[in-house]
Homo-oligomer: A and B are copies of this chain.
Amino acid sequence: MLNFVDSVQEAVSGIQDGSTVMIGGFGNAGQPFELIDALLDCGATDLTVVNNNAGQGDQGLALLIKEGRVRKMICSFPRQSDSWHFDARYKAGQIELELVPQGNLAERIRAAGAGIGGFFTPTGYGTMLAEGKETRIIDGRGQVFETPIHADVALIKALKADGKGNLVYRKTARNFGPIMAAAAKHTIVQVSEIVPVGALDPENVVTPGIYVNSVVRVPADAGSSEKVA
């Protein structure tokens, strides 16, 4: 069911301890900063978080990790120049890391949304990231079996939602949004603008409303001064 809610606090209020939470974004593009802040405020803990990275600087996901609310990260690139909160927790053995090649991360998220039980891919074959995984040779190529990544909740950012929850994105801020929306049981979207039903061209809808559960409007410039460039 689709709901339009008035605040990011209300949007995330149902997130339970122990949930798997997907968070959209690649770099700052498409990061639902305000929803992440609300998740921090709401107190949910023991989370498994799926994101391309593991937090940067002293904001958003990095603060969730700093506060000890993340039990496990599933990501492709945790180590960055400013990923100090993750680095500290990881070195202290206080956070679990499942490191996934970025294409496998995307395809596994897509598989969850598409009802695929698992798939074989050449990515990672013969590397330490395939250790312990099932492999087989298909058409002469070594391949690794990868499983879907499902989530309880997805937090994503889009440009506009219409009254049916249909979404469009903006430039490279699209990134993980559409596949996370489909992979999570409950998808929460922050948008810059809510438009009437019929205002989006049906040819150009990127995420159909069937994948969307909660929509909250966050004006595009809200809090942008706090963001790391």
Residues on A lying within 8 angstroms of B by beta carbon are: 107, 111, 114-122, 136, 138-139, 141, 143, 147, 168-171, 201-204
Contacts and interface: CB of A to CB of B under 8 A. Distances in A.
Which 10 pairs across A and B sit closest by C-beta, in order of nearness? A117-B120, A117-B138, A119-B119, A117-B143, A204-B204, A118-B120, A116-B119, A116-B121, A118-B138, A117-B121
A119 B111 contact: yes
Contact of A117 (B119, B169, B203): B119
A160 to B, nearest CB: 11
A122 B117 contact: yes
Contacts of A170: 203
Number of copies: 2
A7 to B, nearest CB: 28
Contacts of A118: 119-120, 138, 143
Contact of A122 (B107, B115, B120): B115
B107 A114 contact: yes
A122, A136, A204: residue with the most chain B Cβ atoms closer than 10 Å: A204
Given A117-B136, A201-B204, 4 more contacts: A111-B119, A117-B121, A118-B120, A118-B138
A170 B116 CA distance: 28
